[in-house]
Amino acid sequence: MAAANYDYDLIIIGAGVGGHGAAIHAAECGLKTAIVEGDVMGGTCVNRGCVPSKALLAAAGRVRDMKNADHLKHLGITVDNVSFDRQGIADHAEDLVQTIRGNLTRSMEGVGVDILTGNAGFVDNHTISYGGAPGTITGGKKTAKHIIIATGSKPFVPPGIEIDNKTVFTSDAGLKLDWLPPWVAIIGSGYIGLEFSDVYTALGSDVTFIEAMPMIMPGFDREIAKLAERVLISPRNIDYVTNKFATKVTPGIPGEKPVTIELTDATTKEVVDVMEVDACMVATGRSPYTAGLNLDNLKVETQRGFVPTNEKCQVLDTDGNVIEGVWCIGDANGKLMLAHAASTQGISCVENMVGRENVVNHEAIPAACFTHPEVSFVGLTEEQAKERAEKEGFTIATCKTSFKANSKALAEKEAEGMAKLIYDPKTGKMYGAWIFGLHAADLVHEISNAINNEQTLYDLKFTTKAHPTLSEVVEELYRGAHLEGGMPSQKLAPAR
Ligand SMILES: Cc1cc2nc3c(=O)[nH]c(=O)nc-3n(C[C@H](O)[C@H](O)[C@H](O)COP(=O)(O)OP(=O)(O)OC[C@H]3O[C@@H](n4cnc5c(N)ncnc54)[C@H](O)[C@@H]3O)c2cc1C
Ligand SMILES: NC(=O)c1ccc[n+]([C@@H]2O[C@H](COP(=O)([O-])OP(=O)(O)OC[C@H]3O[C@@H](n4cnc5c(N)ncnc54)[C@H](O)[C@@H]3O)[C@@H](O)[C@H]2O)c1
């Protein structure tokens, strides 16, 4: 039974991972819930993002490993004639998408969430209209006490770049792995660019990065980016240009006519080169997918397309006031464009709806780039932490450890890597952690959970990990951190 006078307690617009997380939790909390999807279930992550990209990375990673004769020889192994089937790898990704899309849909049906189809937009803050063809809203109307916008994002393509989805494409078409261009230029060296460079080079393509910022991997902690460059870029068939914008990209014809890319210097704004390559992937970020929601009816003005929200993900009107009953989560609010951030925000909104105060700490949300080896982090870079420390008047210190000191990594002969912790030596508060190395994506959670639970290094310094495990990399960080308040010896297990 929904709240008085409404069809539902909660309607969610968009069935991506954010919408899914909110729907499952709402049903568990006893809220009568519906989710409206204008396209296929699962959104970006399942259909055009995390899921197919990780399937490609898994297969390409195996190819890279098995072709790495040097590494295998050190383990006493010889493998001859490694080959792969491009279509087979593409099929693996597509099969996984189908499986996870089915699981996601059934999991919502299983807890009684109503699935409505068609594009949705607002009539008012408690009413949506849905069911028309994309871009139109002509179907039925439904009311709810609460409405969550979870409409996600689409690839951002800078002006001047012509997409033909064959020789010039974004991740949407790239994930289909229709062909393996001998030489591919990737515009943007963020998450998507890096992960695709890992896939392409493992499968034999050469890569050139075009990056607008003065350095590649500009979002990473500088020290980690330098090491990542030494391992992920320099030894591979990858080169790069930095401080250059791709200002004009013209598609080609595979095997006949090259793609041309006009490069403009970011400082002088002058065209400095025209590159010719076989293909070009555009990985220059993503734009919120909020058009068509009829946000005017709520007096909401988007900011570069993002829906303005407060710390609880409640939507704000043009005067900055909370619009009662309307929430926005995931890529559409732009707080942190990651799948698990979207779903955590969704759960948090539901908690607030049922009267349990909740605010997501985005500095405790981990992130990872699934290259081989992986990069992971939580919180701030050292550069950001220094800036904050200066502004807020505290000190920061860093502590580092190498995977070369870890027995498990050495046993695997994969000891190229480092971990770094950024903390306040007085309070033991952790502001950020960065890990580059084998299974970094899994290792970061211990630290992100600790930050979320507001644990300090005084709580963690002498915790124990099994030996030999990669987790001892994190143990090394905790033990190596210098605490000005002395050693927390009372935390040691009592002697027997
Ligand atoms: C190549 C790639 C790899 C990625 N890899 C990772 C990764 O490894 N880890 C990670 O954490 N993140 C990853 N991401 C990011 C992740 O996919 C997104 O952060 C996440 O999908 C955002 O979830 P969301 O629920 O906000 O939106 P989405 O997943 O985009 O879902 C939004 C849904 O809303 C629907 N919709 C939009 N408008 C309407 C409307 N008006 N009416 C009805 N329905 C509507 C859309 O059709 C869509 O299904 C990746 C992204 C890409 C592109
Ligand atoms: N493993 C993961 O969690 C994962 C994987 C893929 C994508 N994602 C998400 O998807 C989103 C999009 O990823 P992305 O890699 O496209 O974006 P990004 O923001 O990570 O990187 C974009 C890069 O492109 C550069 N750039 C922008 N315009 C340019 C231009 N005209 N010429 C040259 N360089 C230009 C930027 O300086 C930046 O380095 C990210 O926000 C990320 O959160 C996450």
The predicted pLDDT at position 489 comes to 61
Structural tokens at position 477: 């960080």
Alpha carbon distances (Å) from 240 to 53, 193, 217, 374: 22, 12, 11, 20
408 C-alpha to ligand 2 centroid (Å): 33
40 C-alpha to ligand 1 centroid (Å): 11
The answer to whether 339 is a known ligand-binding residue is yes
Q: Which residues are catalytic?
A: 467
For residues 470 and 405, the answer to whether their CB atoms sit within 8 Å is no
- Strands (E) located in 363-464: 367-369, 374-379, 397-402, 418-423, 430-437
- Quickly list H helices, 299-427: 339-353, 382-392, 407-411
CATH superfamily of 8-50+90-155+287-360: FAD/NAD(P)-binding domain (3.50.50.60)
- Does this model's pTM top 0.90? My answer is yes
The answer to whether 334 is a known ligand-binding residue is no
ipTM field: 0.98
Question: In angstroms, rounded to a whole number, what is the distance separating the alpha carbons of residues 18 and 334?
Answer: 13
With CA atoms as reference, report the closest residue to 335 among 345, 349, 325, 323.
345
Question: In angstroms, rounded to a whole number, what is the distance separating the alpha carbons of residues 163 and 251?
Answer: 7
Q: Which atom of ligand 1 is nearest to the CA of 343?
A: 25
Structural tokens at position 56: 């490609």
SS3 90: helix
The answer to whether 20 is a known ligand-binding residue is no
The answer to whether 23 is a known ligand-binding residue is no
For domain 168-284, give the CATH number.
3.50.50.60
Looking at ligand 2, which residue's alpha carbon is closest to its atom 24?
188
Task: Look up tokens 């699962």; give the residue.
Answer: 42
190 C-alpha to ligand 2 centroid (Å): 4
Give the dihedral sign, CA 25/336/46/237.
Answer: negative
CB-based pocket (< 6 A), ligand 2: 158, 187-193, 195, 210-213, 218-219, 245-246, 283-286, 337-338, 367-370
The predicted pLDDT at position 488 comes to 73
* Lateral strand order in the sheet of 206-210: 168-169, 279-282, 183-187, 206-210, 238-241
Q: Which atom of ligand 1 is nearest to the CA of 293?
A: 41
217 C-alpha to ligand 2 centroid (Å): 9
Residue 253 DSSP class = B
Dihedral Cα 115, 116, 118, 121, nearest 10 deg: -110
Confirm whether 168-284 and 364-480 share one CATH topology: no
With CA atoms as reference, report the closest residue to 365 among 400, 339, 389.
339
410 C-alpha to ligand 1 centroid (Å): 38
The predicted pLDDT at position 386 comes to 98
The answer to whether 252 is a known ligand-binding residue is no
Dihedral Cα 108, 113, 116, 122, nearest 10 deg: -120
CB neighbour list of residue 170: distance below 8 Å, 6 or more residues apart: 155, 157, 163, 281, 282, 283
The answer to whether 193 is a known ligand-binding residue is yes
156 C-alpha to ligand 2 centroid (Å): 9
ω into 373 cis (within 30 of 0): yes
The domains of the chain are located at 8-50+90-155+287-360, 168-284, 364-480
How would CATH label the architecture of 364-480? 2-Layer Sandwich (3.30)
Question: In angstroms, rounded to a whole number, what is the distance separating the alpha carbons of residues 40 and 20?
Answer: 13
Alpha carbon distances (Å) from 123 to 129, 144, 299, 404: 6, 12, 11, 60
Q: Which atom of ligand 1 is nearest to the CA of 44?
A: 29
Question: In angstroms, rounded to a whole number, what is the distance separating the alpha carbons of residues 321 and 318?
Answer: 7
* 130, β-bridge pairs: 120
Residue 405 DSSP class = G
Residue of 12, 40, 50, 100 to test ligand 1 pocket, by largest number of atoms within 8 Å of CB: 50
Task: Look up tokens 């350095």; give the residue.
Answer: 215
CB-based pocket (< 6 A), ligand 1: 13-19, 36-39, 43-45, 48-50, 53, 119-120, 150-153, 171, 192, 289, 292-293, 330-332, 337-340, 342, 370
The predicted pLDDT at position 220 comes to 97
Residue of 50, 156, 192 to test ligand 2 pocket, by largest number of atoms within 8 Å of CB: 192
The predicted pLDDT at position 1 comes to 65
The predicted pLDDT at position 2 comes to 73
For residues 447 and 468, the answer to whether their CB atoms sit within 8 Å is no
Looking at ligand 2, which residue's alpha carbon is closest to its atom 11?
285
Question: In angstroms, rounded to a whole number, what is the distance separating the alpha carbons of residues 152 and 338?
Answer: 10
Cα angle for residues 45, 195, 241 (degrees, 5° grid): 130
pLDDT tens-digit profile, the chain (496 residues): 677 799 999 999 999 999 999 999 999 999 999 999 999 999 999 999 999 999 999 999 999 999 999 999 999 999 999 999 999 999 999 999 999 999 999 999 999 999 999 999 999 999 999 986 555 555 799 999 999 999 999 999 999 999 999 999 999 999 999 999 999 999 999 999 999 999 999 999 999 999 999 999 999 999 999 999 999 999 999 999 999 999 999 999 999 999 999 999 999 999 999 999 999 999 999 999 998 899 999 999 999 999 999 999 999 999 999 999 999 999 999 999 999 999 999 999 999 999 999 999 999 999 999 999 999 999 999 999 999 999 999 999 999 999 999 999 999 999 999 999 999 999 999 999 999 999 999 999 999 999 999 999 999 999 999 999 999 999 999 999 999 988 776 444 444 4
